[in-house]
Amino acid sequence: MSRTMAPRYSHTSVQPPRRTDARLNRERLVAAAWEVFAEAGPRASLNEIARRAGVGPGTLHRHFPDRSALLTAVLRDRVEALCEQAEGLLTSDSADDALAQWLRAFLAHARANQGMGSALMVDEPGAPGRNCHQLILDAAAGLLTRAQQLGTARVDLAADDLVKIVVGIALSTAHRSDREQSERLLALILDATHGKPHRSK
Residue 113 pLDDT grade (very low, low, confident, very high; cuts 50, 70, 90): confident
Exposed, middle or buried, 82 (CB in 10 Å: 0-12/13-18/19+)? buried
Domain identity same for 86 and 168 = yes
Q: Quick check: is 3 in a domain?
A: no
DSSP string, 65-102: SSHHHHHHHHHHHHHHHHHHHHHHHTT-S-HHHHHHHH
Domain identity same for 93 and 130 = yes
Domain identity same for 25 and 110 = no
Domain identity same for 128 and 29 = no
Show the domain range for 91: 74-192
DSSP letter (8 states) at residue 176: G
Give the CATH number of the domain where residue 22 resides: 1.10.10.60
Q: Which has more pLDDT, 138 or 126?
A: 138
Domain identity same for 26 and 57 = yes
Give the CATH number of the domain where residue 161 resides: 1.10.357.10
Domain identity same for 47 and 79 = no
Domain identity same for 78 and 169 = yes
Domain identity same for 122 and 178 = yes
Domain identity same for 104 and 122 = yes
Q: Closest Cα partner for 146 from 82, 110, 189, 92?
A: 92
DSSP letter (8 states) at residue 32: H
Domain identity same for 103 and 46 = no
Distances, alpha carbon 55 to alpha carbons 22, 43, 52, 156, in Å: 11, 19, 8, 51
Q: Quick check: is 144 in a domain?
A: yes
Give the mean pLDDT of 138-157.
Answer: 95
Contacts of 48 (CB under 8 A, 6+ apart): 36, 40
- For residue 1, the model assigns a pLDDT of 46
Domains: count for the chain: 2
Domain identity same for 180 and 108 = yes
pLDDT in tens, 77-112: 988 999 999 999 999 999 999 999 999 999 988 887
pLDDT at 53 over 80: yes
Percentage above 90 pLDDT, the chain: 55
pLDDT at 129 over 60: no
CA distance 93 to 178: 32
Residue 75 pLDDT grade (very low, low, confident, very high; cuts 50, 70, 90): confident
